[in-house]
A and B are shown apart, each in its own frame.
Chain A
């Protein structure tokens, strides 16, 4: 973290109470978990996709509560706007009429459920034992310059490369490979 960012954080810390009350958190978290349950239980894949959109939007609300407006915007534009439209298109292409009348859970579902319950027990014990490791430092991040500071980390500033510029280029290469893979995979004859 550069010193400019440090001073910006401390000046914002000085006098600004968070606007969102705890009720916002409980409503958004409840909505996210409830529609997450709907995603994995619905018979009709379109209903599951719509429930997933509700989950994504409420997680975007949680990002706003965490002083991350740029990530919230990316979540809404890329996830809810891009990826979910892709999902809905593919659901329309494949035959959902037939698959919604079939058995919804595979034959090994008790094993899968037991494994997921074991994972949940692990999370519960880790959170219960390690809750001293996550102190509430009362940190607030500057919201108005959030996008600018993320851009400084990603692209660099004042002619210098940012800390994540190389990773950013690798990510764009990954997207190029994904585009090529998707096109080749869906072509009938190559």
Chain B
């Protein structure tokens, strides 16, 4: 059995990233779109930690923690917007959010 290299982790992270992009671009439910964004941020985190191991220092892990902070802030604000939107229009579908569209 081959030893696990950095490349293996990059392949997994690329797969998770593409899954997240598919979710963001095709789903209608806003909650699942936000979850897909979490998938994308996790793929980035996995890359950062894999490179941190490849170079043998901890800067990548510190960056992964900052990305986690960003994900928490994004989830809180995004879900707040979702609740405010649901109160006004009684829907959670992204293609019905078209007030600024002409």
Chain A positions near chain B (C-beta within 8 angstroms): 1, 5, 9, 21-23, 25, 29, 32-33, 36-37, 39-40, 42, 45, 48-49, 52, 55-56, 59, 62-63, 65-68, 70-71, 74-75, 78-79, 82-83, 86-87, 90-91, 93-95, 99, 102-109, 111-113, 115-116, 119-120, 123-124, 127, 131, 134-137, 139-141, 146, 149-150, 153-154, 163-164, 167, 171, 174-175, 177-179, 181-186, 188
Contact = CB atoms under 8 A, between A and B. Distances in A.
A135 B3 CA distance: 12
Nearest to A40: B23
B35 A87 contact: yes
B65 A185 contact: no
16 contacts: A1-B59, A39-B32, A79-B38, A79-B71, A83-B72, A83-B75, A86-B75, A86-B76, A87-B34, A95-B92, A105-B26, A109-B26, A112-B25, A116-B21, A140-B53, A141-B56
Interface of B is mostly: helix
A94 B31 contact: yes
Nearest to B1: A22
Contacts, number: 256
Contact of B55 (A48, A116, A139): A139
